Structure 1
Amino acid sequence: MNIDLHTHGKLSKKSDFSPEYFREMVKEAKANGLQALALTEHFNTSNFFAMYETLDRMYPYSGHYYEADGLKVFPGMEVDIAETGHILLIGLKEKILEARYSLENYTREGQFIPFEQLLDLADEQGLWKIGAHPFRISTPLHHLDRELLTRLDAFDYNAKDIYMQGVEAYRALITPFAAKLGVPVIAGSDSHQCLQYGSVVNKLEQSCSTVAELKEAVRLGRYSIEVSPCLHTKVKASVMMKKLLKQMQGEAPSRDEEAEYSA
């Protein structure tokens, strides 16, 4: 089963969740050979709960994933932490929503939840914990307490960071870092725009229908990561398209996006 474990369902935090936009995302994910993805939208995006309410109206939910026109969509979210950094949480929809309710007082910069407290919350809800883009210049994780980092279930080999830093350079950073901690590495496109799908893919040796099965397959190393030879083109095209669409909506680019545009 081919799965992307870091994806977004909206163009940006400020934009509304659009069923039409998401259906196009699903269509392109399938066209790029994916059978599944984890929807890890930012926890402090506008109308987070409404996004899942809309998904409930759009697709049947199996109890573990949405059946989105033949694509498995596992619920999740991406959470900012106080020490700087982002953590992907993936699990049962009701547990994701429960955790999000618990984060209501931590959604603003300067008030983000401490790393250890988030780890405890995720463990209470039985959520899969993935350290997102650990060597991103603006939101790194590598500086955090080693004992806390070992509580993560995986690190994110992120297409945007590969694009910014190069395949070999980024691999040389993340591989020994993760190995020293005994934490596996998984792939995530970090796509907000459908052109980015397929830039990096996790190729599992078997099909999985629950997050527990996904987590176990990764823990046992029963997968490989495929980096597209077209990664640079895919990410750059997605970045440029995102910039154009945000300009049309009157949105200014973020600090990260300014760096991406100049890459």
Structure 2
Amino acid sequence: MQVLRFAPSPNGWLHLGHAYSALFAFEMAKRLDGRFLLRIEDIDVGRCRPEYEQAIYDDLRWLGLEWEEPVRRQSEHFAGYERHLKQLREMGLVYPCFATRKEIQDAIAQSGIAPRNWPADPDGAPLYPGIYKNIPRETLNRLMWEGRTYAWRLDMEKAKAEAERINGGPITFTEEGASALGHKGVLPIEPELFGDVVIARKDVPTSYHLSVTADDALQGVTLVTRGQDLFPATYIHRILQLLLGFPEPRYHHHGLIRDDTGRRLSKSAKDMGLRALRTAGRTPADIRRLIGL
């Protein structure tokens, strides 16, 4: 049986883009006679709020969605993510990075390469310049003893090599959507585009990449549906699936809901939420028409 999910973060009000993603997964699960799960991705405990989480339930029920209970809340499962992080540490594939944002900016500025020409990852962030990679053990111990804040970064070169060894060759994934990107079928991964990504932090033993990969495996998700903006993240997730012994799901990256200028909707831009649209008298049928479903 096929298992699909919608996994929002309660750090703002759901908007039309979320409605599209939720309905897309829900309707596909129905067509496939499969299961539909709701998961609350609230590992960012500083930004997530109970009122946003309750609004997720209210908005989705208003749209006519139903899901299995209980709902998995990631903040209740940090110990499980920490076990996966420990596995990666024992494999020698992650390292602590103490770099501040300013240190990274300064290292780039001192490289002789203009910041605008410094390579960026698919999300637009500058690639990590390796400031604290391969530092002496004595230095590492001193920084930890001082209580410095740090993040765990995945050594991408080592991780990809190990994942390819486990896989017995080049790593791919199966994409069923992403037609607007021109990508479909069995595709190769390019995780090196992200460099040494952050996989966890000192105070939170996980990241989006680690928790979503672990939860999809734990919950038996067989088809991951999500927006095209997350297409490149699949490169990292396939690496982690192989390293941690997780099964490989299929993927369908769907189109994004955009405003009249072509900008994709986002919480950070304060785009009108479903809650406000509902208060203004819009109906679920209106929402479906607005998003083309």
Provide TM-score, normalisation by structure 2: 0.30
Structure number with greater Rg is 2
Provide TM-score, normalisation by structure 1: 0.32
Which structure's residues are more often strand, by fraction?
A: 1
Structure of higher RCO (CA pairs closer than 8 Å, 6+ residues apart)? 2
